[in-house]
């Protein structure tokens, strides 16, 4: 029986929606140059200053390898930010987030060993969705969704001792055997490196104006079966996360889920903008009688093991209680203003 269910209070920062992948289900990727953006420093600073003292996590997302998606992206990001590519710009945003009291968590696509090593000191944890180990039609035009490439990056993060988040996207063309295979591979990576802190089980949600706009999302029974299977395969210390804005969490908690991911106070879910975040009060009601506790973007056992850098040590010490969860303070009371 789990002691409590956790969540992280974050601010969601989409650095750019330019992406080399063209997944058939994705509504985040820019469909044309007119739709493309880069979040400038000024906008970023305005957002993070608005959550000072309340959020603890700065969640950075971006399209993967935007320089490969658009030959003019290099010139565009230099004009917009003064940086030559997305990784050094992300590094600068991480530094600014830390200065404003936020612990960065980067999930910006496949990164090399050197890029991971460069970003590691400025991140409490990092992430990359595996999604599936199957070859699915939805990934036909997505070179970065080749399973081997994503598994290689997850392994590289393990070599660098980066607390890591990954997960499966359910309902994109995979079958139950594919999900079992993906979970077993993630277990083997955890057994080797001990760095995976959570595995997200996320349902596909159809988006307008995408090739899969008329596809059906997975039945809730499929989600239940996947969570049940994940809990049976994965070690107990690896949390199973389910997004509370995309599914009904209580039944999934009863089957082994123990985390609800990041909840943003000032920003929408840019990946699923049609699905608003619940408030903390709504979360507590939705999961009752289970107890809700706030955590940091780095899980307690990695805090206890010292898997973090001197750059973020002061914030870890400021926010973490004796159990490695967030200290209970008046300023941590959640107020949803979106």
Q: What is the mean pLDDT of residues 131-152?
A: 98
Residue pair 229/289 in contact by the 8 Å Cβ criterion: no
Over residues 79-103, mean pLDDT? 96
- Residue pLDDT, tens place only, 196-210: 999 999 999 999 999
pTM for this one? Answer: 0.95
The answer to whether residue 93 scores a pLDDT higher than 50 is yes
- 338 pLDDT higher than 80: no
Residue for token pair 């968590």: 105
pLDDT by residue (tens digit) across 177-196?
Answer: 999 999 999 999 999 999 99
Is residue 129 within 8 A of residue 167, CB to CB? The reply is yes
Domains and CATH numbers, the chain: 5-332 (3.20.20.70)
* Whole-number Cα distances in Å, 299 to 197, 241, 295, 316, 324: 7, 13, 7, 11, 7
Average pLDDT, the chain: 94
- Residue 332's pLDDT is 47
Note whether 237 and 163 are within 8 A (CB): no
Please, are residues 165 and 125 in contact by the beta-carbon 8 Å criterion?
A: yes
Q: Which residue has the higher pLDDT, 50 or 121?
A: 121
Predicted confidence at residue 266, as pLDDT, reads: 81
Three-class secondary structure of residue 301 per DSSP? helix
Both structure tokens of 281: 């009060």
């Amino acid at each position: 029986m789990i002691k409590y269910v956790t969540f992280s209070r974050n601010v969601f920062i989409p650095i750019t929606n330019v992406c080399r992948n063209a997944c058939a289900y994705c509504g985040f990727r820019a469909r044309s140059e007119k739709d493309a953006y880069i979040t400038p420093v000024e906008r970023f600073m305005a957002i993070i200053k608005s959550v000072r003292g309340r959020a603890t996590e700065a969640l950075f997302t971006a399209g993967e390898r935007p320089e490969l998606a658009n030959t003019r992206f290099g010139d565009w990001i230099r004009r917009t930010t003064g940086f030559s590519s997305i990784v050094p710009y992300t590094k600068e945003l991480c530094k600014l987030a830390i200065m404003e009291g936020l612990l960065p968590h980067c999930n910006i696509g496949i990164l090399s060993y050197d890029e991971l090593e460069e970003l590691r000191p400025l991140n409490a944890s990092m992430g990359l969705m595996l999604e599936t180990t199957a070859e699915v039609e939805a990934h036909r035009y997505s070179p970065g969704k080749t399973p081997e490439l994503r598994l290689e990056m997850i392994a590289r993060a393990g070599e660098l001792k980066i607390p890591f988040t990954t997960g499966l996207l359910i309902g994109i063309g995979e079958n139950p055997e594919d999900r079992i295979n993906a979970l077993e591979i993630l277990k083997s990576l955890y057994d080797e490196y001990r760095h995976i802190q959570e595995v997200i089980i996320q349902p596909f949600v159809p988006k307008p104006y995408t090739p899969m706009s008329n596809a059906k999302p997975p039945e809730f029974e499929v989600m239940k079966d996947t969570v049940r299977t994940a809990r049976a395969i994965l070690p107990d210390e690896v949390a199973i996360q389910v997004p509370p804005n995309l599914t009904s969490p209580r039944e999934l908690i009863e089957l082994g889920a123990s985390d609800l991911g990041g909840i943003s106070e000032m920003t929408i879910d840019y990946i699923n903008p049609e699905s608003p975040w619940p408030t903390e009060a709504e979360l507590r009601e939705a999961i009752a009688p289970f107890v809700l506790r706030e955590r940091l973007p780095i899980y307690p056992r990695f805090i206890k093991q010292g898997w973090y850098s001197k750059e973020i040590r002061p914030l870890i010490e400021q926010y973490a209680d004796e159990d490695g969860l967030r200290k209970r303070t008046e300023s941590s009371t959640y107020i949803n203003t979106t």
